[in-house]
A and B are shown apart, each in its own frame.
Chain A
Amino acid sequence: DAKTTQPPSMDCAEGRAANLPCNHSTISGNEYVYWYRQIHSQGPQYIIHGLKNNETNEMASLIITEDRKSSTLILPHATLRDTAVYYCIVRVDQNYGGSQGNLIFGKGTKLSVKP
């Protein structure tokens, strides 16, 4: 089972920041938080990941609470092309040979960006 909880859907106005929450209250000390998104019918796409510090890249920012039990993905200026299902996943950040390295997907949050 997925170790994360996300709202099933969210709306965001074009040009505004989209803040997608994720709860992962049972996260282990060696588990990272990963975010992927899936634009309609395409394969999922990696966005960002982090352990405990906030992270930023060209796509998004990731804010992780100090107790690491929740996080927020921020798309600073959402566009219509950001409409997608966003998946929050926790996993160990090692190239393990076993199942610990697998991505376990939940149902994600369907983000609709509206003009």
Chain B
Amino acid sequence: NAGVTQTPKFQVLKTGQSMTLQCAQDMNHEYMSWYRQDPGMGLRLIHYSVGAGITDQGEVPNGYNVSRSTTEDFPLRLLSAAPSQTSVYFCASRGASAPYEQYFGPGTRLTVT
């Protein structure tokens, strides 16, 4: 199993540009989520999904859109990038049985200039 994969690893955007961060998992997990991590901070939840076709907002959803058309994929879209969205983005998935541990991807480092 590849686990949770994220692309790209690094991205530089100009203010106002849009882009999609890709996340995929091959563990057949129903639950997936997106976090952002700013320097010296813990992770903050952006959006999450409990299954295909179902998404909900986390702590910091503004400026981001998500969709979940398949169990495997959970892309995160930045609609109009702002410097405040410069961060490291982590995708995670979780199984439906104990211990409900979350598996995290390697992260995407995004810089908005």
Interface residues of A (CB under 8 A from B): 2, 34, 36, 41-46, 49, 87, 93-95, 97-99, 101-108
What is the CA–CA distance of A49 and B100 in the complex, to the nearest angstrom?
Answer: 10
What is the CA–CA distance of A106 and B37 in the complex, to the nearest angstrom?
Answer: 11
- With A44-B90, A46-B99 known as contacts, the answer to whether A2 contacts B107 (CB < 8 A) is no
Interface size on B, residues (CB 8 A): 33
- With A44-B90, A87-B42 known as contacts, the answer to whether A93 contacts B98 (CB < 8 A) is yes
What is the CA–CA distance of A43 and B41 in the complex, to the nearest angstrom?
Answer: 14
Q: Let me know if B101 is at the binding interface, CB within 8 A.
A: yes
What is the CA–CA distance of A49 and B4 in the complex, to the nearest angstrom?
Answer: 21
Q: Which residues of B contact A87 (CB under 8 A)?
A: 42
> Could you tell me if A41 and B45 are in contact, using CB atoms closer than 8 angstroms?
no
Contact with A along B92-111 (1 / 0, CB 8 A): 10101111111111110000
What is the CA–CA distance of A46 and B103 in the complex, to the nearest angstrom?
Answer: 7
Q: Which single member of B48, B97, B105 contacts A43 (CB below 8 Å)? A: B105
Q: Let me know if B77 is at the binding interface, CB within 8 A.
A: no
> Could you tell me if B88 and A41 are in contact, using CB atoms closer than 8 angstroms?
yes
Q: Which single member of A36, A41, A46, A105 contacts B107 (CB below 8 Å)? A: A41
Q: Which residues of A contact B98 (CB under 8 A)?
A: 93
What is the CA–CA distance of A83 and B64 in the complex, to the nearest angstrom?
Answer: 33
Q: Which single member of A41, A49, A97 contacts B50 (CB below 8 Å)? A: A97
Q: Which residues of B contact A46 (CB under 8 A)?
A: 99, 101-103
What is the CA–CA distance of A106 and B104 in the complex, to the nearest angstrom?
Answer: 17
Q: Tell me the smallest distance from the CB of A99 to a CB of chain B, in Å.
A: 7
What is the CA–CA distance of A95 and B96 in the complex, to the nearest angstrom?
Answer: 6
Additional pairs, 17, CB under 8 Å, beyond known A44-B102, A99-B58, A103-B33: A36-B102, A42-B107, A43-B105, A43-B107, A45-B104, A46-B102, A93-B99, A98-B50, A99-B48, A102-B45, A102-B58, A103-B43, A103-B102, A104-B59, A105-B35, A105-B44, A108-B42
